[in-house]
Amino acid sequence: MVGAKEDILSRVRVALQGDAPVTDIPRDYRQSGTMNQEQLIDHLTDRLVDYKAEVKVVLATDLQGAIAEFLANARSVVVPHGLDAQWIAGVADADVVTDSSEAPVPVDQLNATDAVLTSSAVSVAESGTIILDGTPTQGRRAISLVPDQHVCVVPASTIVEILPEALPRLQPSHPQTWISGPSATSDIELERVEGVHGPRRLSVIIVEDA
């Protein structure tokens, strides 16, 4: 055991000195998909529904109405500062607050907010994963994790088939949130518990080009 420990620590010391040998990583896995946009939308929708997300597929001209429908029961909504104001214009009965790094919504107010509306950076159809990268239309990670409902807009043009296609579209230096369905975990009795680490309700609007 002591020998193994010393071996590990020795390797760590070498790595920290910058003298560790760099080996090529074999990348002989699949790099790109073959689905067309219609197939990508169907595949992503199937995965999201399987994860218990709500999904609407709409044209850009119907986006405002779809957002209003998903947020019909929300009394308060937080949006990132870069979001198109027209997206939220159809939500008449909720208090809408705008969040930014310069003027963040206080934690206690965010905790009492019913829903959040964001866009998204890229989505992976194969795994049903939506990725947010913290840009102005997606906002701080906190606003997409604290409210009980997340309404997320996914432009069809940002859907890819497999993960290797998604990674080049992301900036490694940006904070990222990877979402595969509503927040869910299992307790010690293996009972599914939702909403522990994020929104209990995920509502996705996939927007096709008009």
Per-residue pLDDT at 1? 60
Q: Which helix (H) or strand (E) holds 23?
A: none
- Structural contact between residues 151 and 117, judged by C-beta atoms closer than 8 angstroms: yes
Give the pLDDT confidence score for residue 87 in this predicted structure: 95
Is residue 43 within 8 A of residue 125, CB to CB? The reply is yes
Read off the pLDDT of each residue in 48-62 and give the average, rounded to a whole number: 95
In this prediction the pTM is 0.86
Q: Which of 28-42, 84-98, 173-187 shows the lowest per-residue confidence on average (mean pLDDT)?
A: 173-187
What integer is the mean pLDDT of 152-156? 97
Q: Above 90 in pLDDT, residue 17?
A: no
**Residue 187: what pLDDT?**
75
Tens-digit pLDDT profile for residues 103-143: 999 999 999 999 999 999 999 999 999 999 999 999 999 99
The residues facing 79 across adjacent strands are 98
* Mean model confidence pLDDT for the chain: 91
Q: Tell me how far CA of residue 105 lies from CA of 71, 83, 147, 179, in angstroms.
A: 19, 15, 12, 22
DSSP 36-101: -HHHHHHHHHHHHHHTT-EEEEEEGGGHHHHHHHHTTT-SEEEEETTS-GGGGTT--SSEEEEE-S
- As a whole number, mean pLDDT of residues 158-168 equals 97
Please give the distance of CA 38 from its chain centroid, rounded to a whole number.
Answer: 21
* pLDDT (mean) for 141-149: 94
Arithmetic mean of pLDDT, 163-180: 93
Residue 25 has a pLDDT of 85
pLDDT at 78: 97
Residue 101's identity, in one-letter code, is S
> Residue with structure tokens 């929300």?
74
**What is the DSSP secondary structure assignment for residue 11, as one 8-state letter?**
H
Q: What is the pLDDT of residue 2?
A: 66
